[in-house]
Structure 1
Amino acid sequence: MNRIVVPAQAAGRLGDAWRHCVGTGRFNLALRQDYQESLALAQREIGFRYIRGHGLLSDDVGVFRPYDAAGHRGTRYAFTYVDQVVDAYLSLGVKPFLELGFMPEALASGTDTVFWWKGNITPPRDHSEWARLVRAVLRHLIDRYGLSEVRTWPVEVWNEPNLHVFWKDADQEAYFRLYEVTAKAVKEVDAELQVGGPVLSPGADDWWEPFAEFVTSRDVPVDFTSVHAYTSGPAEHVPFGVYQALRPPRNLLEQFARPKELLAGTPLADLPLHVSEFNTSYRPDNPIHDTAYNAAYLAPVLAEGGDVVDSFSYWTFSDVFEEVGIPTSFFHGGFGLLTHRQVRKPTYHLYAFMARMGQEILARGADHLVTRDDATGRVTVLAWQPVGGTDAPAEPDRHELSLSVPVPAAAGGRAFVVRYDVDTERGNAWHAWGEMGRPASPSSRQLDLLRDLAEPARTASSSPVTPAPDGAGTGRVDLDLVLGRHGVTLVEIDVVRDETPEWLDDSRVLGT
C-alpha cells in the first residue's frame, strides 16, 4: 500500500459551512425537556451556529390569534411560545434560521395540510393580513432581542413550494406572489434583514430561472437563495418504516452546486447559497440514518461541501420529530444525530469529529481529510471507508490508509496519538440495540448500556517523529490506519513534551 505524503504547507482553510446550521423538528417541539437536553449536548460537542425547522407560524405555536367577542374584533399576535423557544436557542449559543410557515388556520385559504401534526399548506386568504403577521413577528423579535441581533437571522419564505405536499398544487405563480409579499414585508420592518428562498426540494431545476426572472423584473428583495438535497429514491413502505435506494455521495455535492450553475448570468448568481436541509434519505423512518454507513457516506460531503455552498444543514439534530407520527420504537430510522434520550448515532460522531479538526487543510482525498490547528500545531486526521450507494459493490470488512503526516519537531522525538473509531460494531448504538433484541422502549439500564456502547472506541499511543531532512523544525509521523467496515476514524497528533522525572523506573512497576 502506498503511503500518502501530506504536505507541510496548508492548502486552504476548512471553514464551518458544515455546521453553520442544523435542522430540527417543528418549532413547538423545542419546548420539551428531551429536545433541549439533546440540543445542549450537540452544542457542547459540535457547536452549530443556526437552527432551522418548520412550524413557526403553525397553530400549535399560537402566534396568530384573531378574536371576535363582546363587541371587540381584531387580531392579537401572541409570542408566549416563540419567546420560550428563542430564549432557549440563544442560551445554548445557537441562532434561529427563521422559516416562515406554515399557514395559520384562521388565515388559510383552504384546509390542505401536511404531516401528522397538520401544517396548513395553502396560501393566505388575505395577503395583506399575512404581511401584517410577518411584520408583527419580526418587530417583536427585534424589540426582544435587538435589531443588530435579528439582522443576523436569515428569514426563509416557506418550505419546498415545488412539491404538492408542501404548497397547494405546487402553484409556482402563487408562491412567487407569497414570496414577493413576504420579502417586501420583511424589508418594511428593516432594510437590512436577510430574506431569501425559494427553498426548493431536489428535482426542481425548472423553478430557478423563473424565480430569478420574477424577482429581478419586479425588483423583489432576495438576499440569499436556498435549496434542499437528498439522495434517496422512492420509498418502499413497510409497517412504521421504509427502505430506499441511495445514489452515490457525490450526488449530494452535485446537488449543492446545481443552483449556482442554473443561476449563472443572473443577478442571483453571486448571492449566498444555503442548503437548508440535506441528508441521505428524505424519510424520517428510514433505518439508514441510524447506521455507520450513513456516517461514512456523509464524511466526504462534510469535507468538501463548503467549497460549493455557504452552508449545508443536516436534517436533523434530534429524533424528537413527529412528521409521520410519534415513533413506535427507540431506533426507528429518525433523521436525528441523536436518538430520544441523547444516545449518539454514528453520524453524530462524524460531526463531533469534524468539530475537533483544525483550521488549516493540509490534505484532502477520497478517504481522508488532514488539518492542523493554527494555535497549537495539533494535527488531526479524519479518515473513512468510501461507500458508493446502492449500486456500488459491497464494501470490504476493512479499509487501509497509510499517511506520512507533518508535525512540529519534538524534543523527545515522539508524538502522542489518540484515535477514535466508529464502524458497524464500534461506537454504534444501533448495532448494540439490534444485539439487545431491539427493545421498543429500553429500560433505564438498557439506555445506560446504549449510551456506553455508543461511545467511539479509543486508543492512545506514541509514535516516533522523524526529523525533516532540511532541519526546519518539523518532523513526520507515519500512520498506518486500518478501519472497520463503514468506519469513520479521528486521529489527533500532538507533540510529546516529556516531563518524566529522571528517577522513575517503569521496569520496576509490575504490569508495565
Structure 2
Amino acid sequence: MRVSVPKEPTGRLSDAWRYCVGTGRFELALRRDYQDSLALIQREIGFRYIRGHGLLSDGVGVYRPYEHRGARHVHHSFTYVDQVVDAYLDLGIKPFVELGFMPAELASGDETVFWWAGNITSPRSWPEWADLVRATVSHLVDRYGLDEVRGWPIEVWNEPNLKQFWAGADQDAYHRLYELTAHTVKEVDAELQVGGPALAPGAGDWLVRFADFVASRDVPVDFVSQHAYTTGPAQHVPFGTHQRLAPASRLLEQFAGPGRQLRGTALAGLPVHITEFNSSYRPDNPVHDTAFNAAYLAPVLAAGGDLVDSFSYWTFSDMFEEVGVPTALFHGGFGLLTHRQVKKPTYHLYAFMARMGELLLARGQDHLVTRDATGRVAVLAWAPVDLTEHDAAPAGYTLALSIPVGAPQGTAFALRSSVSDEAGNAWAAWSAMGRPRSPDRRQLDTLRELAEPARRHQALPIADGRVDLDLTLDRHEVTLVEITAVADETPPWWDGSRILGSGNEQED
C-alpha cells in the first residue's frame, strides 16, 4: 500500500538528537586523532554539546595540593582544561560539563573504575570539594564569559546508582554531594545550569527520591539527566562482549521514564537530558560497528525528540579507553568513527539526519519525511530489524510513498544515499580483509572509500504536484532520499543523440 505524505507540515522536527554527543575521558581531546575525528563530525553532522567523564580526575591535573612552610595548600591548575575547551569551541561545539571523578588526593577511599582509574569515592574534605567546584566553574566563567557559560549544562557526577561509579551506590552520600555542588555552582552565578543525577537504566525509585530530597532541602535543579541502553548481561570473550538486545522501542520507553516518574513532584516539567544512550553499554561489543546498529537506532533518532530535550549518542569516536587501549581498528567501540576516521554505518544515520529538513511532513515505523525552506523533501527510511534471527534477517523490504513536491508537473531529481550490510559498511569490508588489527595506509584508504554510502540518482515524473517513490531496502539498510523539483534549463539546441557526432551534419 502506498503511503500518502501530507502536503502541509504537521510540526517541526526536533533536533534533540544532535544537542549533545558523548566522548571518552576529558584529556583524550588533547590527541591529534581525537581532534581530527571531532572536526570531521562537526563538518558533516554538527553537534552542539559534548559530554565525557574525568574533568576532575588526576589525568587533567586540576586539583594540586602542596605544602609550603609547614602548611597545606591546594592549587587549582587549568592547563589541560583550557586546551580542551578551546579546541571544542574552535570546532563549534560546547562542553556539557560533568563534574567528576574524585582526585585521588581528595578522595575518601581508593575504589576506582575503568582502566584509567577514575576514583569513585566521596571527598574526604567536603570544603575542599566545594573549593574545587567553585574554582573550576569560576575559571570557566572568567575565561569564556558569563553569558557563554550560562549556556553550558553542569551535571553532577555519573551513574551514582551503580556501585561501579559511586562507592556503594550510596544515595544519601550522593544527595550530600549534589546539594553541596549545586549550591556551590549557584554561588558563582545563580543563572548557571546545574542538574543530575545522571542515572543508569534500572535505577528504580532513585529519581523520585532525588526529587523528594531536593524539594525538601530547597536544592537547585535546572535539568534532570538519565541514561538509556537496551542490552542484557555481558557474555565475555577475549577483548570483546556479546549481549542480547531488547527492541529499540525500549530506548524510547526509557526516554519517557523521567517525565513519567517526576509527574506530580517538584521537578515535573524540567528539561530532561538523556546524557548517554546506545544499544549496548559495553565499549567492546561488535554490534556498534554494524549496519544493524544503524537500522536499529533509526526509529529512535526519528522519534526521541518528542520525549526528551536531548539524547546523547555514546560516543562520537572510538578514542575511548575504559576497558583499556583497543586491540584492533574495529573492536566494538561506541564510536560513530573508528580511530583514524573510518566511518561506521551509524555515523551515516546521523549524517543523514543532519540533511533532513526542519518541517515534519510524516513519520512512520519505517520512515521519516521532512521539507526544508528551499522546498527540498528528504525521506529517511530504514529496514526494520529482526532481533530473534539477526543472521537471517530478511532482505527486500519495500516501502511505497507518495511525496508532495513544489511543482504541479515536470520532473523531480532524487538523490539516494544508502548504507546496509553490503553498502557503506567498512566493518564488513574489514572482515573480508581478514580483520587486520592494524591496517596499513593502503588498507585504511580502502576502508574509508568503502565506508561511504552507495549513491544513485533518478528522475521522477511529477503528477498533480506529487511523485511516487518506491524503495526496496536491503538487509539492515538505512537510506536517505533527497527530492527537488527540477527547473529545466536545457537549451533548445540540445540533442543527446548527437554526442558522438551522428545525425544531421548540417549546422542548425
Q: Which of the five TM-score ranges fits, normalised by the shorter chain?
A: over 0.9
Q: Does the 8 Å CA contact 2:412/2:485 hold for their aligned counterparts?
A: yes
Q: Determine if the alignment matches structure 1 residue 331 to structure 2 residue 330.
A: yes
Residue 452 of structure 2: aligned partner: 455
Q: Distance in 2 between matches of 1:27 and 1:115?
A: 14
Residue 19 of structure 2: aligned partner: 20
Residue 202 of structure 2: aligned partner: 203
Q: Does the 8 Å CA contact 1:247/1:390 hold for their aligned counterparts?
A: no
Q: Does the 8 Å CA contact 2:460/2:467 hold for their aligned counterparts?
A: yes
Residue 383 of structure 1: aligned partner: 381
Residue 295 of structure 2: aligned partner: 296
Q: Cα offset for 1:15?
A: 1.8
Q: Cα offset for 1:501?
A: 1.1
Q: Determine if the alignment matches structure 1 residue 478 to structure 2 residue 468.
A: yes
Deviations 1:287-333 (A, max 9, x none): 00000000000000000000000000000000000000000001000
Q: Does the 8 Å CA contact 1:58/1:119 hold for their aligned counterparts?
A: yes
| Alignment coverage as a number of residue pairs | 502
Q: Distance in 1 between matches of 2:501 and 2:147?
A: 61
Q: Which amino acid in the other structure matches residue 242 of structure 1?
A: T
Q: Distance in 2 between matches of 1:5 and 1:52?
A: 40
Q: Secondary structure at the match of 2:73?
A: strand
Q: Distance in 2 between matches of 1:508 and 1:479?
A: 32
* Structure 2: runs of 5+ lacking an equivalent: 503-508
Residue 464 of structure 1: aligned partner: 461
Q: Distance in 2 between matches of 1:302 and 1:449?
A: 29
Q: Does the 8 Å CA contact 1:274/1:310 hold for their aligned counterparts?
A: yes
Deviations 1:382-438 (A, max 9, x none): 000112534789521221100000001166x00010000100010000000001110
Q: Cα offset for 1:120?
A: 0.2
Label 1:356 to 1:318 Cα distance change in 2 as closer, same or farther (>3 A).
same
TM-score, with structure 2 as normaliser: 0.97
Label 1:27 to 1:511 Cα distance change in 2 as closer, same or farther (>3 A).
farther
RMSD: 1.3
How do residues 405-444 of structure 1 correspond to structure 2 at under 5 angstroms?
Answer: 405-409=403-407, 413-444=410-441
How do residues 49-64 of structure 1 correspond to structure 2 at under 5 angstroms?
Answer: 49-64=48-63
Q: Distance in 2 between matches of 1:507 and 1:311?
A: 54
Q: Secondary structure at the match of 2:205?
A: helix
How do residues 251-400 of structure 1 correspond to structure 2 at under 5 angstroms?
Answer: 251-373=250-372, 375-390=373-388, 394-400=392-398
Q: Which amino acid in the other structure matches residue 400 of structure 2?
A: S
Q: Distance in 1 between matches of 2:72 and 2:296?
A: 55
Residue 493 of structure 1: aligned partner: 483
Q: Distance in 1 between matches of 2:180 and 2:39?
A: 36
Q: Determine if the alignment matches structure 1 residue 87 to structure 2 residue 86.
A: yes
Runs of 4+ in 1 over 2 A off after TM superposition: 69-73, 388-395
Deviations 1:195-248 (A, max 9, x none): 001110000022012101100000000000000000000000000000000000
Q: Distance in 2 between matches of 1:210 and 1:460?
A: 55
How do residues 78-157 of structure 1 correspond to structure 2 at under 5 angstroms?
Answer: 78-157=77-156
Residue 505 of structure 2: aligned partner: none
Q: Does the 8 Å CA contact 1:362/1:372 hold for their aligned counterparts?
A: yes
Q: Secondary structure at the match of 1:136?
A: helix
Q: Secondary structure at the match of 1:25?
A: coil
Q: Cα offset for 1:69?
A: 4.1
Q: Distance in 1 between matches of 2:305 and 2:244?
A: 26
Q: Does the 8 Å CA contact 2:14/2:306 hold for their aligned counterparts?
A: no
Q: Secondary structure at the match of 1:107?
A: coil
Q: Determine if the alignment matches structure 1 residue 504 to structure 2 residue 494.
A: yes
Q: Does the 8 Å CA contact 2:408/2:466 hold for their aligned counterparts?
A: no
Q: Distance in 2 between matches of 1:140 and 1:502?
A: 67
Q: Distance in 2 between matches of 1:168 and 1:324?
A: 19
Q: Which amino acid in the other structure matches residue 61 of structure 1?
A: V
Q: Does the 8 Å CA contact 1:346/1:422 hold for their aligned counterparts?
A: yes
Q: Secondary structure at the match of 2:414?
A: strand
Q: Cα offset for 1:193?
A: 0.4
Q: Does the 8 Å CA contact 2:408/2:463 hold for their aligned counterparts?
A: no
Label 1:392 to 1:328 Cα distance change in 2 as closer, same or farther (>3 A).
closer
Q: Distance in 2 between matches of 1:480 and 1:282?
A: 36
* Structure 1: runs of 5+ lacking an equivalent: 468-474
How do residues 162-241 of structure 1 correspond to structure 2 at under 5 angstroms?
Answer: 162-241=161-240
Label 1:388 to 1:193 Cα distance change in 2 as closer, same or farther (>3 A).
farther
